[in-house]
Chains A and B, each alone.
Chain A
Amino acid sequence: MAPSSGSTVAAVAAPLPRAEFQPGALAPYTGAARRRSRRVREAVIAGVLRVCAFSAVAGLLLIVVFVLREAMPVLFDAATRKEASLRAYFATSMWQPVGDIPKYGILPLLVGTLKVVVAAMTFAIPVGVMAAVFASEFAPARIREMLKPAVEMLAGIPSVVLGFFALIVMASWVQSVTGAHSRLNAVNAGLALGLGIIPTIFTVSEDALRAVPRSYREASLALGASRWATAWHVTLPAAGAGVAAGILLGLARAVGETMIVLMASGNAAIVSGDLLDSVRTLSASIAAELAEVVVGSPHYSTLFFLGAVLFAATFIINVFAGLFVERLRKRLAGA
């Protein structure tokens, strides 16, 4: 390889014969031909950029197609359906996918997900929304400038670190306060999960509150309403759709979040109403079990089916959140 490339270099380096200037020699670089090649190049680039933009659509479609493809046997494959089908999922309330007679009752996973999400939202909604109201309505500029980076830092903490903190540190605090039997339970996971979604709720709500025109507040204050009454009866209702969107986006994240619940919830698949019991969620089941299953087995298809359920649930919530954002935009644009 080396000698041949050397000779190429030599050929290039050799002095070129001096060309006589001929009229018309520059023709390809001027006039119609040049314009045409330029137009072609522009069109090609526009096409390439269009393809790049389409990658987002393609990505979303591929996710739907390929998660469903692996989940399909649950609905259509006779051999799989003997063990894992929609009926089997609700025929038992036991989730024991590994064993001589595997049981695929998804009820404990649904209950577990619900309990963790309820705990997380109960914590995150009041804190997130109230802090947003504080930041946009009451806080002096200097304090707001300190609050926002703190929230951004919270948002920047990876969920595995929050899971670690809940598992190693927070669980003991929570247990000593609540007196729970199991160190890892729905409350512990819910608190950590709440921490994970507070930034979402805060940021979206605060943006919405700040988008409310000043004139609304001034009118209310001029009528003699207190600052709290103005915030509660005027600003918050005006930004209501945005706050709702923030809560929905937080909800979607809470439903789908994996590492925090996987590490902090204890992962016991039990059906109970007690928030202090250990719980196993849909997302944690996928994360904990998929690495060990045989590809194509009923268990494998079932986990993909659970993934499809998670995708559908979060997708619907996100679409609704999008509608609320749209409504807020229209409302404030009309104001």
Chain B
Amino acid sequence: MTTEAIGTLLRPLTKTLGRDWAGKSLQWLTALAALLIVAMVAVILGHIAWFGAPTLTWEFLSTAPRQGMTAGGIFPAIFGTAALVIIMVVALIPFGVGAAIYLHEYARPDAWFTRAIRFSVNNLAGVPSIVFGLFGLGFFIQFLGRNIDRAMGLDVVWGQPALIWAALTLALLNLPVVIVTAEEALRTVPREMREASLALGATRWQTIRNVLLPQAMPGILTGAILSVARGAGEVAPILFTGAAYYLPYLPTRPTDQFMELGYHIYVLSTQSPDIDATKPLLYGTVMVLLLLTMLLNLTAILLRSRMRARLAGRT
């Protein structure tokens, strides 16, 4: 077939598209890419909801696994995840918010110290999560834990994988998330409010505690929620720092190991002796984790968009 013949055949098509038919079709291609993303999200979430929903019963949520994890529920994993993220947030928020306050209220933007902090925050956010796991093992367990044991004359209590070390590893992983969101929140507080407070004779700290922090609270909350959502979903950092394959008891001390939802998904989908018997439980677990992270993310998105609207409305 010659080029002319193809041209004749395509005439009706090029005519409807007009002179710039190449541009128009490329424009449609970009729309297709966007549609592809939406479709993939819909397929993944839809598939999991479809197969996961039947498993979601009160019994599934409130009992422990039975029969080599082919029956029963996932309560220990939910409990472990909750304990993990609570310890993480408690350790994380003071540092993250403190750092954000320092960066936004105290630091001189061009000082080398400030630049070093910003550089670290940016690059900390890019460190692969598995490297955080290595760090947790190398620093918290092999170094810190071992030395605590030696100092207290204990056998091996702290120098082994534990809830506290996994939580602290995740706290460092999420530090950039909290710093960035808290700083963004501080930016939404109008300058005039600071000036008014300082003009009334309040000190810098009084201004921060009584004016800035209450105003920035939605943003700080957003950061906390985002970090919890991310912390609940990350598996690589806790692989060697505390997550357990199966535990017959719930963790009660910081040095206990724990079961966790994400890790449970990994275990069920790769190490099950009987994948067909496990599948309903697997889908159920995935659904619980997804619901948890999606709800948290949604809350964070709503809080943040309200905050941004306020920022936009001001200028």
Any B CB within 8 A of the CB of A110: no
Instruction: Check A290–B98 contact: CB distance below 8 A.
Output: no
Nearest chain A residue, comparing its CB with the CB of B130: A258
Contact B239 A53 (CB under 8 A): no
Which stretch in B53-61, B64-72, B138-146 binds the other chain?
B138-146
Instruction: With A52-B98, A127-B37, A252-B126 as known contacts, state yes or no: A67 contacts B235, CB within 8 Å.
Output: no
CB A142 to nearest CB in B, in angstroms, measures: 13
List chain B residues, Cβ under 8 A from A307: 130-131, 134
Contact A134 B31 (CB under 8 A): yes
Selected from A152, A153, A160, A283, the residue in CB contact (under 8 A) with B233 is A160
Please give, as numbers and ranges, the residues of chain A lying within 8 Å of B121 by CB-CB distance.
56
Would A255 and B128 count as touching, CB distance under 8 A?
A: yes
Is A150 an interface residue, CB under 8 A from the partner?
yes
CB distance from B301 to the nearest CB of A (A): 6
CB closest residue in chain A, given B138: A66
Chain A, 133-164, CB within 8 A of any chain B CB: 133-135, 137-139, 143, 146-147, 149-154, 156-164
Are A314 and B126 neighbours in the complex by a CB distance under 8 Å?
Answer: yes
Complex Cα gap A251–B29 (Å):
23
Whether A60 contacts B123 by the Cβ 8 Å rule is yes
Question: Do the beta carbons of A164 and B30 come within 8 Å of each other?
Answer: no
Kindly state the separation between the CA atoms of A310 and B127 in the bound complex, as whole angstroms: 9
Q: Considering only CB atoms, which chain B residue lies closest to A147 in the complex?
A: B34
Within the assembled complex, what's the spacing in Å between the Cα atoms of A59 and B48?
37
Q: When the two chains form their complex, are residues B23 and A310 in contact, meaning their CB atoms are under 8 A apart? A: no
Known: A147-B38, A287-B130. A161 touches B122 (CB 8 A): no
A38 at interface, CB cutoff 8 A: yes
Residues of A within 8 A of B (CB): 38, 41-42, 45-46, 48-57, 59-60, 62-63, 66-67, 69-70, 126-128, 130-131, 133-135, 137-139, 143, 146-147, 149-154, 156-165, 167-169, 195, 198, 202, 226-229, 231-232, 249, 252-253, 255-259, 262-263, 283, 286-287, 290-291, 295, 303-304, 307, 310-311, 314-315, 317-319, 321-322
A-B pairs, 6 with minimum CB distance: A256-B128, A158-B233, A52-B98, A228-B23, A130-B33, A134-B30
- The reply to whether the CB of B281 lies closer than 8 angstroms to some CB of chain A is no
In the complex, the answer to whether A52 meets B94 with C-beta atoms within 8 Å is yes
| Nearest CB in chain A to that of B40: its residue | A195
Interface centre among B106, B176, B263 (most CB of A within 10 A): B106
Q: Are A157 and B139 in contact (CB under 8 A)?
A: no
Docked-complex contact B293 and A158, CB < 8 angstroms: yes
B5-51 contacts to A, CB under 8 A, are 20, 22-24, 26-27, 29-34, 36-38, 40-41, 44-45, 47-48
Cβ contacts under 8 Å, B45 to chain A: 153
Q: Closest A-chain residue to B25, C-beta based?
A: A228
Residues of B within 8 A of A137 (CB): 30
B179 and A56 contact, CB distance less than 8 A: yes
Count contacts between A and B, CB distance < 8 Å: 269
Overall SS of chain B's interface: helix
- Residues of A near B36 (CB, < 8 A) are 127, 131
Quick check: B30 and A310 within 8 Å, CB to CB?
Answer: no
* A138 close to B31 (CB less than 8 A): yes
A161 to B233, CA, bound (A): 8
Contact B126 A249 (CB under 8 A): yes
A150 and B27 alpha carbons, distance in the complex (Å): 20
Contact: B102 with A49, CB < 8 Å?
yes
User: B290 interface residue, CB < 8 Å from A?
Assistant: yes
Name 14 A/B residue pairs within 8 A (Cβ), A-sorted.
Answer: A49-B99, A53-B103, A56-B124, A60-B123, A63-B124, A131-B33, A154-B37, A157-B41, A160-B265, A162-B44, A164-B286, A169-B47, A311-B131, A315-B123
Asked if B164 is an interface residue, CB under 8 A from chain A, the answer is no
Distance A290 CA – B134 CA, assembled complex (angstroms): 9
- Are A256 and B130 within 8 A (Cβ)? yes
Q: Given A70-B134, A127-B33, A154-B37, check contact A55 B95 (CB 8 Å).
A: yes
**Overall SS of chain A's interface:** helix
Q: Answer whether residue B240 sits at the interface, using C-beta atoms and an 8 A cutoff.
A: yes
B216 within 8 A of partner (CB):
no
Minimum CB distance partner of B37 in chain A: A131
Q: Given A60-B120, A151-B37 in contact, is the A66-B139 Cβ separation under 8 Å?
A: yes
With A161-B286, A287-B239 as given contacts, are A126 and B124 in contact (CB-CB < 8 Å)? Answer: no
The CA of A57 and the CA of B179, in the complex, are separated in Å by 13
Q: A63-B135, A157-B293 in contact; A259/B235 too (CB < 8 A)?
A: yes
Q: Is B229 an interface residue (CB 8 A)?
A: yes
Interface flag for B294 (CB, 8 Å): yes
Chain B residues with CB under 8 Å of A63's CB are 124, 127, 131-132, 135, 139, 172
Q: Is B297 an interface residue (CB 8 A)?
A: yes
A95 to B36, CA, bound (A): 38
**What 0/1 readout, one digit per residue, does chain B (154-196) give for beta carbons within 8 Å of chain A?**
0000000000000000001001100100000000000000000
